[in-house]
Structure 1
Amino acid sequence: MQKRNNYTELEDFLSDESFQSWVLHKIDNDGWEEWTLESRHRAKLVEDARLILLAMQIPGNQLSGSDIHRALQNTWLKIREKENQRAVKTVKVRFLRKRVLTGVAATLFICFLSSWFYSSYLKSDNKVTYNELIEDDNEGLVEQTNNTDKAQSITLSDGSSVLLQPDSKLSYPKIFTGNERKVYLSGEGFFEISKNPQKPFFVYANEIVTKVVGTSFRVKAYSDQSNVEILVRTGKVKVKSNDLVSKSDKEEIILLPNQALRFYRNNLKFDKITNITQDVVLTQSVGNIEQLSFEFNDIPVSQIFETIEQAYLVNIDYPKNKLSDCHLTTSLSDQPLTEKLKIVCKSIGNNTSFEMNGSQIIITSDGCN
């Protein structure tokens, strides 16, 4: 689909079968929506092509004679421009002309829908794309994309961990520098942030920014969804709209444990939810990592490892014979994955350590103290 990056004419889009499937049948296997939102420059061209294609499907008797007259005048102007620019595309222009004359002229449809298209669909003045956020950052970023059907665990250079859900991606510096830690999310991720009051952590997702020092929370911000959701598990977060968003009052919302926020992208409004149990959407989307308890009182280490495996969808390989009688009492509730492992290994003692390789964790130990 890289050829579409070179599209400069309406006919280019109208003759593209994938584009037709997206517009007419809502089939977006090639990511037309996200591709369109990546650039304001191409949005107008895509809009015109889309609305003309839709107009061709409207029965003629739904418009009055004056409507058709105005439509023909405007459409003929566009056709003449295209004929003057590229004579080689005469056949395609004639095809377009014939469809407009025998069916319904597109212009009235464009007049009525253009304002709706921009305000409800593209919102170019308000909506912020993942690519725009990345372009605004001068640092070299590492991008992790989850194209699998299960969550992936990512460990950042400061020890913070992110459980990245399917169809999501995260961009972050290989090493955090300066007095801030910034990451960029498209999709959904559960964050557990290492405490560092002198270096706050920021998650940029669509039109909002989440600021934390050390806490755990979930951000759900897909590009094709109409709102953004944030749910806090531990600690405190501050949420506000991105500076790239126009017409926003930049109000800052503070969220405490078991509180959530829903940000409506179309009207830039915040909805703070103090009792998440009464919100069906939020309760249905809570994952294992948010439900499991990490408070252990004289619990076998095997059960602790099993809980970590269920929460982070990782595999832990450890010497079962040497740790079979090992029980621990510890609290891991407000710790990223790497900190949890460090605490467990230190509690076991006897030269116990761990090594991470993607979703595989290897524990080496001489046994319990």
Structure 2
Amino acid sequence: MQERNNYTEVEDFLSDESFRTWVRSEEDYEHWEEWALENPRRAKLVEQARLWLLAMNVPETTLSSADIQSALESTLVKITKKEATINKINSPVQKLWRNYWLSGAAAVLLFGLLLNWFYKDDFVSENSIVTYKELIHDNGEGLVEQTNNSDKSQIITLSDGSSVLLKPNSKLSYPKIFVGNERKVYLSGEGFFEISKNPKKPFFVFANEIVTRVVGTSFRIKAYSDQPNVEVLVRTGKVTVRSNELISNFGKKEEEVVLLPNQALRFVRQEFTFNKITDITQDESLAHSVGNIEQLSFEFTDIPVAQIFKTIEQAYLVKIDFPHSKLKDCHLTTSLSDQPLPEKLKIICKSLGNNTSYEMNGNQVIITSNGCE
């Protein structure tokens, strides 16, 4: 079972009797499918070996290294002859076979072209991403995972006062309490972040292939594993975005991009490229994806408290219960543009007087007050 963890070449898999049994009979006694899913960076190699085996139609016998090489060469000859009939290959097989791995890669690619499904975009995307599961597995801290399986966004408050508006079909893992000199969370899906300022303790969001670093700001990250791109859009402040160190394992150089308000970055998985958008209004996809929380103004000048609460409800998709009769004549002038939701509520309550407080329970906010002073 442990030996397979050292497999790095196609013939390693082809030499394994349990692998051949799994491919040919679908009897998975050694849990190959589970192992491949737990090791996504090897999944493409597993798929290549599976396709080789199916293409060669190797009988169930003990294979020697010579048998494997002979079968691979035979398969390559078949592919080459097939391509030659449609004038797609002009070079002889002998030239390709001078470099075994070059020929192997070419054969797999040609085999995929003939079948018209091996290298579909969705397959490449699925196997080239850095997964959320890998990221949290590599984290040594005890993490809390919040999953939004509903059809509405959910608000999450972190121990440092930061807030995250987690969209449907999304997950966020984070420590109960941030310790050390860094704050790290892990996202799969989409979330809008408002980070409590702490210059001595930068905040990092790990989202598949990218890492976003901030001190105190608001931004949105969209990183669904089944979509072709990962996007970061900044509302306030400044963030830096770089590629995850796991991408370096694929031979990709780590990049870093600085984003300012109303700027965005799109990481294209297919090409491993970073595209910076300096004006989101000029990008049709981004312009249509901007939500209430990114559009509404939190600058209030002599505005009724009830109207301020309504704006917060629209932005965060929460329900705020407050004593209408006691606060009906209360007006506030305040700036809440660059504050997480808990800090916004604290400022409002403090402005109303010492007899006003709030309590949050999920997406429900309860304001207790005797009226404004």
Superposition TM-score tier, normalisation by shorter sequence:
0.7 to 0.9
In the alignment, which residue of structure 2 is the partner of 1:143?
145
Task: Report what 1:355 is aligned to.
Answer: 359
Q: Quote the residue 1:216 is aligned against.
A: 218
How well do the aligned residues superpose, as a CA RMSD in angstroms?
A: 3.2
Q: Which amino acid aligns with 1:231?
A: L
The answer to whether the 8 Å contact 2:125/2:228 transfers is: no
Q: Does 1:239 align with 2:241?
A: yes
Deviations 1:281-335 (A, max 9, x none): 0011111100111111111100111111111111111111100100101010000
TM-score (norm 1): 0.75
Paired position in structure 2 for 1:182: 184
Distance 1:364-1:169 versus aligned 2 partners, 3 A rule: same
SS in structure 2 opposite 1:244?
helix
Alignment of 1:1-369 (within 5 A): 9-10=22-23, 36=37, 39-40=40-41, 44-45=45-46, 71=55, 74-77=56-59, 79-80=60-61, 112-113=111-112, 117=119, 121-122=123-124, 126-246=128-248, 247-369=251-373
What amino acid is the match of 2:350? K
> In structure 2, how many angstroms separate the alpha carbons of the residues matched to 1:138 and 1:46?
31
Residue identity (%): 65
1:309 maps to amino acid: E
State the 1:76 CA deviation.
2.3
Structure 2 SS opposite 1:76: coil
Q: Are the aligned partners of 1:209 and 1:240 in contact in 2 as well (CA < 8 Å)?
A: yes
Aligned residues: 304
Deviates more, 1:123-132 or 1:248-257: 123-132
Mapped to 2, the partners of 1:45 and 1:158 lie a distance apart of 43
Residue deviations 1:100-159, cap 9 Å, x none? Answer: xxxxxxxx7786229964997347985211111001110000000110011110000000
Q: Give the distance between the partners of 2:184 and 2:287, measured in 1 at CA.
A: 28
- Residue 99 of structure 1 corresponds to which residue in structure 2? none
Q: Which runs of 5+ in 2 are unaligned?
A: 1-18, 64-106
Render the CA deviation track for 1:220-240: whole Å, top value 9, x for unaligned.
Answer: 001111111110000000001
User: 1:14, CA displacement in angstroms?
Assistant: 9.1
**Aligned-partner SS, 2:225:** coil
Report the CA distance shift for 1:46/1:14 in structure 2 as closer, same or farther (over 3 A): farther
Amino acid in structure 1 at the alignment position of 2:185: V
* Residue of structure 2 in register with 1:85 after alignment: none
The amino acid of 2:40's aligned partner reads: S
Distance in 2, Cα, partners of 1:11 & 1:332: 63
Alpha-carbon distance in 2 for matches of 1:13, 1:303:
62
- Contact 1:355 1:362 survives alignment (8 Å): yes
Relative to 1, partners in 2 of residues 1:320 and 1:13: Cα closer, same or farther, differing over 3 Å? farther
Give the whole-Å Cα distance in 2 for the aligned partners of 1:275 and 1:335.
23
Q: Which amino acid aligns with 2:58?
A: W
The Cα offsets for residues 67-111 of structure 1, whole Å up to 9 and x where unpaired, read as xxxx4xx1124x4469xxxxxxxxxxxxxxxxxxxxxxxxx7786
* Runs of at least 5 residues in structure 1 that lack an aligned partner in the other structure: 1-6, 16-31, 56-70, 83-107
After superposition, the Cα gap between the structure-2 partners of 1:80 and 1:135, relative to the gap in structure 1 and judged at 3 Å, is: same
Match of 1:61 in 2: none
Deviates more, 1:40-49 or 1:313-322: 40-49
Asked whether the 8 Å contact 2:48–2:108 carries over to 1, the reply is no
Q: Which amino acid aligns with 2:237?
A: G
Equivalent residue of 1:293, what SS?
A: coil
* Equivalent-residue separation in structure 2 for 1:41 and 1:278 (angstroms): 39
